[in-house]
Amino acid sequence: MSTDHHPPKERTAMSEMTIEAVRPTTESMTSMTPSIDEPPVQLRLANVSKTYSPKDGKVLDGIDLDIARGELVSLLGPSGCGKSTLLRMVAGFIKPDEGRIEIAGANITRVPTHRRNIGIVHQSHALWPHMTVAENVAFGLEMRKVRRNERERLVSEMLEVVGLGGFDRRLPPELSGGQQQRVALARALVIEPQVLLLDEPLSSLDANLRVYLREEIRRIQRELGVTTIFVTHDREEAMAVSDRIVLLQHGNIAQEGSATDLYRHPDSLFIMAFTGALVSFDGVVEHGDVRVDVGHFGLAAAASVPVAHGDAVVVAMRPEDIGVASSDAYDTVDALRFGGTLDDVAFLGTSVEARVTLSTGQRIEMRLHPRDLSTLPPVGNAIDLQVDASHLHVFAA
Ligand code: ADP
Ligand code: MG
């Protein structure tokens, strides 16, 4: 594993501690030889399922997921969708009912937790309050019988990496919540884990600190090149830190991709709603046309999932894709046009929020770039809006 923080000598010592069961064989390494642009798979879940109680059904249902070496993948989804369950299986705290888990090509499905080389950070840091920061961080190294002077060096190096240089003699209760999470991160990273698991590591912290620390996690993850699963129910957090987002729903992967993929090309209304704000209308497909109560547009021009004539649909759009129609606008299948009354405008500096009541009585919110503020009529006046069909998502109702 490539790390900048451990000089080659330590790296040898660390890899001697890597237990046989999870160490990739030369053969599997060869078979996984990466091309330059495609790093090898570091973590593989193949058809992994888990049921806690038969009456509740499958919590995870045949999950297939490959994570590349050095990749940061967010597991995103509503509370109870199985994110922690998936993480616990990678850690070895629970066994899958079916399926296979591999790290660096080695099957670890039945390998006990203490023989997996994995770092974990939980929502609540779970530091030992009576042990110093250095002792907390050194714990995993002691378990692995790393010699004392080497241990001290690795610990102080890792405390530098997480921005806590000089804090080694403090006790956890003498630290802020954010600093405690940094200690937890150092403790997870110092063993040079093959996979780092972060289970909502920021959710116990206040909003400003969350934003700051997520950037720090990203920086550290890149610096060390550690393969990471970041569990969160916060879409913005997932979008900010991830190479790839995996969105779970009902025990399945609803969609995976970059933040841009999920936001701009959602496969379902659930995904669209989970990744950001939206405005939606009920409608029906009539031949090549989609009719909603405020207007119509051509299906072929829409960003859409396949639907057929007669289907009831939901037409959804992002608030920032709704614009003020220009005065010379004419009716076309390439756009949806509708009118209403401008109720309220809020200037937020980087954006402008405008609330409009449509002729149907539906109230919607649109978001403009501040440079377009002058396109709005005075509050209380009629307003004509339009959305390019390419920004209209059509989903089966
Ligand atoms: P998430 O982390 O996405 O919030 P979890 O993986 O913790 O979800 O839980 C998924 C589902 O499995 C939930 O319905 C939860 O109640 C259930 N569950 C989790 N752990 C257990 C357990 N040890 N025994 C029984 N049910 C559990
Ligand atoms: Mg959880």
Question: pTM (2 decimals)?
Answer: 0.86
Q: What is the mean pLDDT of the chain?
A: 89
Residue 15: its pLDDT value, please? Answer: 36
- At residue 175 the predicted structure's pLDDT band, cuts being 50, 70 and 90, is very high
Q: What is the pLDDT of residues 99-116, one digit of tens each?
A: 999 999 999 999 999 899
- Find the 84 Cα to ligand 1 centroid distance in Å: 7
- Find the 80 Cα to ligand 2 centroid distance in Å: 7
Flag whether pLDDT at 316 surpasses 80: yes
Q: Which of 52, 93, 233, 235 is the pocket-test mutation for ligand 1 (most atoms within 8 Å of CB)?
A: 52
Same fold, 11-264 and 278-396: no
Residue nearest to atom 17 of ligand 1 (CA): 80
- Find the 377 Cα to ligand 2 centroid distance in Å: 47
CATH match of 11-264 with 2.60.40.10: no
Flag whether pLDDT at 127 surpasses 50: yes
Residue 331: its pLDDT value, please? Answer: 72
- At residue 151 the predicted structure's pLDDT band, cuts being 50, 70 and 90, is very high
Phi/psi-derived region of residue 378, left when phi > 0, alpha when psi is between -120 and 50, beta in every other case: beta
Residue nearest to atom 19 of ligand 1 (CA): 85
Ligand 1 atom, smallest distance to 88 CA: 6
Residue 18: its pLDDT value, please? Answer: 34
Residue 391: its pLDDT value, please? Answer: 95
CB-CB neighbours of 162 under 10 Å: 24
For residue 142, report the phi and psi dihedrals to the nearest 5 degrees. -65, -45
Identify the nearest ligand to the CA of 76 by its number. 1
Q: What is the pLDDT of residues 85-102, one digit of tens each?
A: 999 999 999 999 999 999
- Find the 84 Cα to ligand 2 centroid distance in Å: 4
Residues 364, 366: Cα–Cα separation, whole Å: 7
Residue nearest to atom 24 of ligand 1 (CA): 52
Question: Domain-by-domain residue ranges, the chain?
Answer: 11-264, 278-396
- Find the 248 Cα to ligand 1 centroid distance in Å: 13
- Which residues, at least 6 apart from 9, have a Cβ–Cβ distance to it below 8 Å? none
Identify the nearest ligand to the CA of 79 by its number. 1
Residue 118: its pLDDT value, please? Answer: 96
Residue 288, classified by CB atoms within 10 Å of its CB into exposed (0-12), middle (13-18) or buried (19+), is: exposed
Flag whether pLDDT at 19 surpasses 70: no
CA angle 18, 20, 23 (to 5 degrees): 70
Q: What is the pLDDT of residues 340-390, one digit of tens each?
A: 999 999 999 999 999 999 999 999 999 999 999 999 999 999 999 999 999
Residue nearest to atom 15 of ligand 1 (CA): 80
Q: Which of 50, 56, 85 is the pocket-test mutation for ligand 1 (most atoms within 8 Å of CB)?
A: 85
Pair type for strands 352-358 and 335-347: antiparallel
Residues 205, 200: Cα–Cα separation, whole Å: 10
Flag whether pLDDT at 13 surpasses 50: no
Q: What is the pLDDT of residues 181-206, one digit of tens each?
A: 999 999 999 999 999 999 999 988 88
Identify the nearest ligand to the CA of 88 by its number. 1
More confident residue, 10 or 140: 140
- At residue 29 the predicted structure's pLDDT band, cuts being 50, 70 and 90, is very low
Residue 204: its pLDDT value, please? Answer: 85
Ligand 1 atom, smallest distance to 94 CA: 23
CATH number assigned to the domain with residue range 278-396, chosen from the 4 options 4.10.640.10, 3.40.190.10, 2.40.50.100, 2.30.110.10: 2.40.50.100
Are 350 and 370 contacting, i.e. CB atoms less than 8 angstroms apart? yes
> Angle, to 10 degrees, between the axis of helix 148-161 and the axis of helix 8-17?
110
- Find the 110 Cα to ligand 1 centroid distance in Å: 21
Residue 20: its pLDDT value, please? Answer: 33
- Find the 19 Cα to ligand 1 centroid distance in Å: 30
Flag whether pLDDT at 23 surpasses 50: no
Residue nearest to atom 23 of ligand 1 (CA): 52
Residues 306, 299: Cα–Cα separation, whole Å: 10
Residue 270: its pLDDT value, please? Answer: 95
Residue 34: its pLDDT value, please? Answer: 52
Per residue, the 3-state secondary structure of the chain, as one string, reads CCCCCCCHHHHHHHHHHCCHHHCCCHHHHHHCCCECCECCEEEEEEEEEEECCHHHCEEEEEEEEEEECCCEEEEECCCCCCHHHHHHHHHCCCCCCEEEEEECCEECCCCCHHHCCEEEECCCCCCCCCCCHHHHHHHHHHHCCCCHHHHHHHHHHHHHHCCCCCCCCCCHHHCCHHHHHHHHHHHHHCCCCCEEEEECCCCCCCHHHHHHHHHHHHHHHHHHCCCEEEEECCHHHHHHHCCEEEEEECCEEEEEECHHHHHHCCCCHHHHHHCCCCEEEEEEEECCEEEECCEEEEHHHCEECCCCCCCEEEEEECHHHCEECCCCCCCCCCEEEEEEEEEEEEECCCCEEEEEEECCCCEEEEEECHHHHHHCCCCCCEEEEEEEHHHCEEEEC
Identify the nearest ligand to the CA of 93 by its number. 1
- Find the 267 Cα to ligand 2 centroid distance in Å: 24
> Which residues have any ligand 1 atom within 6 Å of their CB?
52-53, 59, 77, 79-85
Out of 98-107, 286-295, 314-323, least confident range: 286-295
- At residue 3 the predicted structure's pLDDT band, cuts being 50, 70 and 90, is very low
- At residue 328 the predicted structure's pLDDT band, cuts being 50, 70 and 90, is confident
- At residue 35 the predicted structure's pLDDT band, cuts being 50, 70 and 90, is low
